[in-house]
A = this chain, B = another copy of it.
């Protein structure tokens, strides 16, 4: 099928991938050049896969500026499994972990941490349906937290941290960056552990990347299940058991594409331009479109907004879909519209949406 028959995919994840990565994956799907087997069939112990896996790790470190003080792990189970792995590895019975509650995913992470130890909520945006990120001065940490957990971008509510929290000296800061990793430059050394499901800015569903400082690896109690121990994956460079081979391969293709584009500075420019165009259209609509997230907390990745009433929201989604603008229905927690515009989402798609918004408003004002 020709690339021109592709539509604009505003899905919150799994989400759009760079076309160049898809084209390359398609070209080689029956047999990798010079290998005679599909990447779907190669042994994870083969030199061919080691080249892919270690190449992806090297590109990941290069793009993120990540030093060897950190292990970069390619795991399975999504952010959901990380909600449990983080406390199982870093929180001991009787200890307290601090969580900044900024949405549904933070809430789910808190529930899992409570199965392991105590949780202190350092700040929450729940009272206003998570329409903002708590300000730095609102963060009230416990006396001696085992770690502080944050969610840098909140897919459902369309909010994103514009700052890295200052945590008490020596306390590890843990970040769920599933929906905004590599959207702009970030200093990974400010975080003790960063994790991200693969299906938004990195690769496909089924791959999870964890960047963990090596001095934290030995904290897990002996009875933590083998697959849930960061240390074993770090020691075996993600090859303790069979890793998600194809997800790592796609990650490698995506990272090569991002490096060729010019790295995180260029990605930030593009993402700010895309999100800016969309927020300008919302704010300039005379109140017809209303953003859910407050200025200063707005996400570059997920733009959430409402229309005057639900009937028009339904019609908006239906008509947009018919015009090849897919996946715009908002999550039920917010309602309305959500436009997810991750790294690989093309600027032409944002322009098409903005044009559609103006047209829709003029017809349904």
- The verdict on A54 contacting chain B, using a C-beta distance below 8 Å, is no
Closest CB of chain B to A35's CB: distance in Å? 8
Contact of A243 among B46, B79, B205 (CB under 8 A): B205
Enumerate A19-77 residues with CB–CB distance to B below 8 Å: 19, 22-23, 25-33, 36-38, 40-44, 46, 76-77
Supply 13 A–B pairs (Cβ within 8 Å), ascending by A.
A1-B27, A3-B30, A6-B37, A9-B41, A44-B205, A76-B244, A78-B242, A81-B227, A115-B223, A205-B243, A206-B206, A206-B244, A206-B245
The reply to whether B28 and A1 form a contact with Cβ atoms under 8 Å apart is: yes
Stretch at the interface among A10-18, A142-150, A211-219: A10-18
Enumerate A195-228 residues with CB–CB distance to B below 8 Å: 197, 199, 204-207, 222-228
The reply to whether B33 and A9 form a contact with Cβ atoms under 8 Å apart is: no
The reply to whether B26 and A40 form a contact with Cβ atoms under 8 Å apart is: no
Q: 0/1 per residue, A346-359, Cβ < 8 Å to B?
A: 00000000000000
- The verdict on A324 contacting chain B, using a C-beta distance below 8 Å, is yes
Contact residues on A (Cβ < 8 Å of other chain), bracket? 35 or more
Residues of B within 8 A of A180 (CB): none
Residues of B within 8 A of A204 (CB): 40, 245-246
Q: Is the interface of A mostly helix, strand, loop or mixed?
A: loop
Contact of A226 among B30, B36, B80 (CB under 8 A): B80
| Copies, count | 2
In the complex, A31→B5 CA distance in Å?
A: 8
Q: Chain A: residues with CB nearer than 8 A to chain B?
A: 1-3, 5-7, 9, 11-17, 19, 22-23, 25-33, 36-38, 40-44, 46, 76-81, 83-84, 88, 108, 111-112, 115-116, 197, 199, 204-207, 222-228, 240-247, 250, 324, 326-327
In the complex, residue of chain B having the shortest beta-carbon distance to the beta carbon of A232: B80
Residues of B within 8 A of A84 (CB): 225-228
The reply to whether B40 and A17 form a contact with Cβ atoms under 8 Å apart is: yes
In the complex, residue of chain B having the shortest beta-carbon distance to the beta carbon of A225: B84
Closest CB of chain B to A206's CB: distance in Å? 3
